[in-house]
Structure 1
């Protein structure tokens, strides 16, 4: 499970084609063309000399502005892509794609995310794409976005624009058996939410410590808190902006969009969930409690999958001691996430169509 990750640490760390033939600059990353409702603001640029991961920026009318964290420009959406080794030497080869959704409050182009994508795909013919979800986007089309921001159609942006845009500009296997979606924390919610809404798009879904049960009052409190925390982006937004009022009988949006209770559409898809229990709750208690509550929402989701007779993988690694070195079962711990991703990539490559 951790074999490829260990090797990297020691070292120091086909079916229907895609819609377009990407241009490639000499000794540079691919060059992208506007389309699918996206305008390219900045072309792909390598993040380092290894030339596997690049970032680019787009604009979209689906999310024309958003609450920004430090260093972000409202309305400009950074997307990070990790290519398989040798991508530029294999001009006729097409690859499966994993879309990975970041957590809250996070962004796609972090060093931690780059490590997650690169270290777990050494020698693996897989493209990974991480789109911007903002600090509090929650991977859904908001019910009541504030007028100051305009539409907050994150789901439409990602599923109807980013995915076909990637297929048009990279050499992908542009169909369900060549596409997966995963995410951690808020992104785990997003991954299940997207897979349930659009099962025709994905062959596999994975959640790493995802908040999957919006019927949980604790999970609702976490979402509501994210609307009010300046660290999740400014300006803050009204509490009902995303899913509507959280109180019965006005909480239909919360009930409707909760992944845990709507697993039926995942039938026939690969499903995997990973979570710790927080470990010692007296050590780093905030992250311990957050993980423990994510664990609870994952257990609820597992129970619904079992009741529906849907095969799935559920890795409950408890305090993390048997999962990965340095993992103590806390929320958003990089050693835990690296182990989650390493295991998940193995599942993908045993299932998705690939070279």
Structure 2
């Protein structure tokens, strides 16, 4: 049977009806005086990752980016690392580690828009997730994107690579995964796929219910690179400061990542298998601390709010604790938050969440 595919025109119509988790890009940090160079740990090739020499970028004290290659992905990929202030001063100490997964159209540098993630109580690691990687091992590996095994890259290569080279606490109780938008899907999916790795998970404005047609259409829009509809509602800016959305990379088949999205003759079986809102997947979070944040005040977050509500209701039925913060129009969260799909809300959400995460880490010592 020939798989059913969504054409670009069809996806555009779906978006017009309202779809998507939106582009998650951060404004570039404002240039200033160069900070003193931090002590950068040495990284060697391991776990299938080859470190690109002379490509390290230093952003500030304890804030740097390395570049790697891997057979799991085409091209070069960055990993930004934020070390706690006391990392060098306490050479015998090991630290909790949090993985931050950026959103669609984003990069590792988006973390600069969420200062709370640079904590003095933990290491934060920001691996490249691709413009439209969706934190998945793609069904199609012969698209214009080439090799695209993002889940394998993150879970079987980056995590052990970081544990080998940095002084991390390697038990699940001291490791978290957090993300927003596309990365919100990634964080919840990774926590479900590898509960042995992650003891805490948070999703902000996440595309976390693949049972919703609007969320599926968001994935398709990235595959078809329909930037117009997303840029019109995201308010995103490129890291160059041009104010234009940079897009989601080359056009690929609409079935490239998860296969056919249509619920006909089980054609959408992969979507259902990886759906973070599926009760069978939520049950895997029985021993995991779960936090969700969302607004509901724009044409994107109204859908992430619905997805988050569904996830909470299903977790409640499973008697699994969850903290859901629906900040609505944003006033309860921050004067800078309008309840929409943007860092004006995500930055204060992380400011609220990180101290709670730090306390959770400390409680397990």
What TM-score do the two structures reach when normalised by structure 2? 0.80
Structure 2: stretches of 5+ with no match in the other structure:
1-36, 228-245
The DSSP-based 3-state class of the residue aligned with 2:152 is helix
What corresponds to 2:45 in structure 1? 34
The DSSP-based 3-state class of the residue aligned with 2:162 is helix
- Is the counterpart of residue 218 in structure 1 residue 210 in structure 2? no
Q: Deviations over 1:74-103 (max 9, x none)?
A: x11011111101211111111000001000
1:267-282 paired onto structure 2 within 5 Å: 267-278=286-297
- Is the counterpart of residue 244 in structure 1 residue 259 in structure 2? yes
In 2, the alpha carbon distance for the partners of 1:341 and 1:148 equals 35
The DSSP-based 3-state class of the residue aligned with 1:88 is coil
Question: Post-superposition shift, 1:232?
Answer: 3.6
What corresponds to 2:250 in structure 1? 235
- Is the counterpart of residue 253 in structure 1 residue 264 in structure 2? no
The DSSP-based 3-state class of the residue aligned with 1:275 is strand
Aligned partner (choices 324, 331, 335) of residue 314 of structure 1: 324
What corresponds to 2:88 in structure 1? 88
In 2, the alpha carbon distance for the partners of 1:44 and 1:182 equals 26
In 2, the alpha carbon distance for the partners of 1:91 and 1:140 equals 36
In 2, the alpha carbon distance for the partners of 1:338 and 1:47 equals 22
Q: Answer whether contact 2:136 2:150 (CA < 8 A) is retained.
A: yes
In 2, the alpha carbon distance for the partners of 1:147 and 1:115 equals 32
- Is the counterpart of residue 339 in structure 1 residue 348 in structure 2? yes
Distance 1:46 1:215, change over 3 A: same
In 2, the alpha carbon distance for the partners of 1:42 and 1:328 equals 42
Q: Deviations over 1:6-36 (max 9, x none)?
A: xxxxxxxxxxxxxxxxxxxx95311211101
In 2, the alpha carbon distance for the partners of 1:173 and 1:338 equals 26
Q: Answer whether contact 2:295 2:339 (CA < 8 A) is retained.
A: yes
Q: Deviations over 1:290-347 (max 9, x none)?
A: 1111111111111111111100110010000111121010102x23111211222122
Larger CA deviation: 138-147 vs 170-179: 138-147
Structure 1: stretches of 5+ with no match in the other structure:
1-25, 66-74, 279-287
Aligned partner (choices 61, 71, 89) of residue 61 of structure 1: 71
What corresponds to 2:150 in structure 1? 154
In 1, the alpha carbon distance for the partners of 2:85 and 2:38 equals 14
- Is the counterpart of residue 295 in structure 1 residue 305 in structure 2? yes
Q: Answer whether contact 2:143 2:256 (CA < 8 A) is retained.
A: no
Q: Answer whether contact 1:59 1:76 (CA < 8 A) is retained.
A: yes
Q: Answer whether contact 1:45 1:55 (CA < 8 A) is retained.
A: yes
Distance 1:243 1:126, change over 3 A: same
In 2, the alpha carbon distance for the partners of 1:277 and 1:45 equals 39
Aligned partner (choices 159, 167, 174) of residue 163 of structure 1: 159
Paired residue total: 305
- Is the counterpart of residue 327 in structure 1 residue 327 in structure 2? no
What corresponds to 1:180 in structure 2? 176
